[in-house]
Structures are given as C-alpha cells and as structure tokens.
Structure 1
Amino acid sequence: MSVVRRRTAITGLLAAAVSLTLVGGTTAQAAGAGLDDPAKKEIAMKLVSSAENSSLDWKAQYKYIEDIKDGRGYTAGIIGFCSGTGDMLDLVEHYTDLKPGNVLAKYLPALRKVNGTDSHAGLGSAFERDWATAAKDAVFQQAQNDERDRVYFNPAVKQAKADGLRALGQFAYYDAIVMHGNGGDSTSFANIRKRALGKAKTPAQGGDETAYLNAFLDARVWAMKQEEAHSDTSRVDTAQRVFLKAKNFDLNPPLKWKVYGDSFSINS
C-alpha cells in the first residue's frame, strides 16, 4: 500500500474510445473513454506520480526506494510497494516467477520475515542498491506494472465502472486504493466507499455523479486525516476536486492542478 511521500522527504454507460480529428490536425480521445483507455491511463499514472513523487515522470520511479518512517518499512517503485504491507513481497515473488535468479530473489526470505513490520532486517543498503539495479531490468519494470494493475488499477476501475462512474470517478477510486489499500480497516478503500454510499447514491443506483463523487471525496479526506502520514489532503482538495468542480468527468486535457503547493499541468 502506498503512502504520501515527497522527495525531500457492469454497469454504467461507456462510449468506445475513438479519436477525433480537430482543427489544425491535432487529435484527442472522444468523451467517454474509461481510465483503462491507454491515453487516460497515462494521465492517471502522471496524476498519482505528482502526488507520490512530486513529478509527472512516473516511469522514473521504478528505481525509487525509501523508508519514509511511516511504520511500513520501505516504500518503493511506481506505486509505493511497501515491505511492511505485503505488496512488495508479492512484487518480488512475481518478478522471480518471471525471471528466476534475479538480483532481488535472494531477499525473499527477509521480505517474508519483515512483512507486517517496519523492520529492515536482512534488507538494508544492499537491498536498496539491488533494487536500483533491478529497476533497469525491463522484466522488473513489467512486474511492477503487472502488480500495480492487479492489486490497484484493475480493481478500482472495475468497481468504478460498476458504480456508473466515468474516468474522473475511476481515478478517484484508483488513487484511494493506492493510498489506503483495500483491507478491512476503517480507512480502507472499501470503507471509504461505504461511508460515501451512506451519503449519496452512485450513478448506477440512479444518483447524481457530482453528488456521489463529492461524498466519496469527503469520505476520502476523513480517512486521510486519520493518519499523520496522509494528513495533507491536497491531492484531493487542489487536484480531484478541481476537476470535479469543472465537471471534467472524462479527465480531458488540458488539466491543471496542485499538490503540496506545487503546480502541474497536462496539456494534451
């Protein structure tokens, strides 16, 4: 499960994703493309990276590894896989399935022992160096992509589509699962959604999309404030709510937002 970090620190209508040719020969995705459309997914990766890494260059984060002192051990990679929450272990196991004998495989026993703790036992600086080495391997990059999709992206988009949400709502779900995971605790994605459903109906239930997303983001902010590491809510307040206020349900560029006071934009 990922956490906030900065480096100084099937139901619902879905139109087919087709390209529209605009005046001047430029192109854009037709309204209605879901977050799993390649262009929209790229936007989602950049939005998350702006919050997680203060950068839109999400592909530069394969090599990222740091203990941000949040009780989850190491946080690493493109989505913040953590040694203390199990998803880093799953990732290295998947990498080893794809490429036995890889540079990280020897750490599997240590990763199993530290799972559920903030310990670095059996890891440390050697593990950090080997993570950076592995990050240059296309197979490890693919393993990170695979686990991001399996654990976070695909479940979020599937649930959001079932709730009748367009790309913005799909992203709101994805960003919530990235930060909070989908376990059984009160701040998990499932419980954030449950709190929102107590306030508003989803579009699939006949509710208003704006009203439901406001309820979901309110519940998300509540969950973030339950933990010091998540207490800066700007990734909701000055990013997702900006898009919602503009009724940009399809996350169509240009997009302008702020996280932690830093300004970002995607123009096309």
Structure 2
Amino acid sequence: MMLVFGQTGQVARAFQVLAPEALYLGREAADLMNPEACAAAIRAAKPDVVINAAAWTAVDKAETEEAAATQVNGAAPSAMAEACAALAIPFVHISTDYVFDGSGEAPFAVDAPTAPLGAYGRSKLAGEEGVRAAGGCHAILRTSWVVSADGTNFVKTMLRLSETREKLTIVADQIGGPTPARAIAVACLEIARQLSENPAKSGTYHFSGAPDVSWADFAREIFVQAGRTTVVEDIPSSAYPTPARRPANSRLDCSRTAEVFGINRPNWKTGLSEILKILEGAK
C-alpha cells in the first residue's frame, strides 16, 4: 500500500488519477504543522512506500512566515523520513530548484552547492537535509515551474488574464523548465517502485520539463496553443518586484535521473497541450 501526503495540490491531484488505490492524507488527517502527527500516521498505516506531495508553496508569504514554512517544508518531511527509516520503507520527497541561488546559465547539477535566496528555499533545503539525515531509503526529487489543470499556476493565470488583456508584460530573464504535475507524479511512482527493489538508488535527483524557456516565451506558447491573440512584451525581473526573490536560472541537470531510473525530461509543450484539453473540456 502506498501512502501519499497531500490531497489538493497539483501533484497530489495527479497522483489520485494515476494511483486511486493509494491512501491520501490531507491537512485534516495529517497536519504538516505537527510533524509527529505525520510520523504517527505512517506508523499507523504501515505502508510499503510513502510519497510526500504536500508542502508550503506560498513563496512570497514564506518571507513573513518563515517559521511556519520551515515547520511544513522542513520539520514535517524530516519526521516522515525518520518514520519511514524505522519501518525500512522507501520515502520519496518532492523538493525545488529554489534551494539554489539561480546564478549563471548552466543547469544545476544535483551536487551543486545550495544557497537559497529566500525563506521558501531555506525551508525546502531544511526538509532535504532532514530527509538525508534520517538515514533511510529515500529519493529527493527537485523540480520546477509546476503546471497542471488544477490549482493555481502560470498556465491558468495566463489564460485568465488573456480573457481581458490584449497585451501582457512577462518576465523574460528567468529561465527554467515548466513541469507538468502529471509527469512529476509518474516519475515519483516509478522512482518509488525502483527504490523498493533497489534501495541503493537512494539519493537526490532533478526532474523538470524540456526545453528550458523563459516565462515570457512560455506565455507565448500558451497563447499559441490556446488560440489567443494576446501579445507578450518582455520585461526584466526588476520591473516586476516580489517580496521573495526568484532564481534567474532554474535550469536543472536531470541526467542522473535518466541514468539511474530511466526517466527522461518530459516535453512541456506536449504536457501543455494535454492541460489545455482538460481545461477546455471542463468549460
């Protein structure tokens, strides 16, 4: 039996479609502000594998509520990993490119030095460190720019704004790989399966969509595929200030994931097409 932390997030929703038989724990059943409750839930369920798809994802809000963000993103997954280690079962944890400082233009390797720019990145890094320290069979999967037909994300925001705007100004100096939530869920399930067979594959991995693109060019592709005429004007990050600094370089070197698990980077343009079909069908 597989236990998944998360019910309403983009990746958790994707899991529910792919693996409806799993046990899903939302805030009511396992509050991530209470790490011990998360560990107790694992001990009570006695699953074969645990995947953590729950997190504090409000990047800007974390700047003023770092202690709470660190409890959810740091202490909770650490407690989950310790419980899994005690039960000798695999633990798959989703992390983020925000653990890096976003410098340079080369994709970040899995062993590149971490240097978060803000509270959200620091909270996620704390979770990574806790998972590793637990000493059990685990995979930390760093991803970026998650999109889907669920929740709030860049694709849905662009479509909403294009309903009433002829032109949008979009940041063009942040580069990364948009990653469909479904692809992340598929990757996590395969990683969990392989870890169960070979715990030696434990470690940290990267997984993001290809090809790497700027937010502005991503927006252009959204409008092309959606048949919208909205014009995109490139702007620098400095013209769109936010409480939390965003990494300029979110490129991730995903080669180790391909080598160890046989999982390649998903084509985000194909994923975008699938997302748009779902959204169109929901109208």
With the length of structure 1 as denominator, give the TM-score of the two structures.
0.28
With the length of structure 2 as denominator, give the TM-score of the two structures.
0.27
Higher normalized helix content (fraction of residues): 1
